[in-house]
Structure 1
Amino acid sequence: MTTTFLTAPKIHEIGLAEVKTIHERMDKLLKSAGFVGTRQEYAQKLHREPEYFYTKREEIIQGYQKLAEKIEPNLSLLFEKIPQLGYKIEPVPEHSEKSNPAAYYVPGTISTQRPGIFFANTYQPEKRPK
């Protein structure tokens, strides 16, 4: 059971309208950025140009740290409770980096006062997008 009275075709219609709106916004942004081409061509550019990828392992950690500094002042706008233990950003241990995802989080523990740890995989930085 769902909480909507909309029919499946109506929901689909709404979704298509949203996709159209998003595509229009993307096209406007690409044009304002001076890009000449399609959305698909821009996506391909992002996937092949070295400037959009890291070159050193340390840059990945620094990128996440910079992002954390940017979002931390606004966390209270998104979350009612902010953990007091905080968190750290660390690289995935090298012995397991080949088999781990791009990033994952391990919650902190109150009993040991260990902060949460956000692990960022720094393996093959040249294949990790910024």
Structure 2
Amino acid sequence: MRLNKSTRKITFECWPRNVEIGSPSARQYPGWPKTIDQLDNYGRNAVAYLPTVQVSGATNPVLQIVEEATGKWIYSLRIKGTSFRPKVFKAGRYTIRVGEGKGRKEITGVEARSLSQAGVLKVDL
């Protein structure tokens, strides 16, 4: 497996046994390698979206989504850059936590909406 941190691409390799992978003639199994994006690794389909989170004061912050009705943690992700549109898997209200440690911000009561109605949420860290 190879991880490209700058592009957030993950490449999986599958070599036959007893192959010297450094050899110019070495080949992986047919159909390999396979490359996916970091977000492809969590393949659940969105039912709704939260507003696009636009962060100022930090780059690549951690973002956490919590379902308010149950208190259930849905997912956490270190976003790439300063903007990310969180997907969610059912309608309702959510808490969005952005950042780490003492500088973390928490926004409660964020309503899930359709993709076209999601809007923008600005967060200053």
TM class by shorter-chain length? under 0.3
Query: What's the TM-score once normalised by structure 1's chain length?
Result: 0.23
Greater strand share, 1 or 2? 2
Higher helix share: 1
Q: TM-score, normalised by structure 2?
A: 0.24
Larger Rg: 1
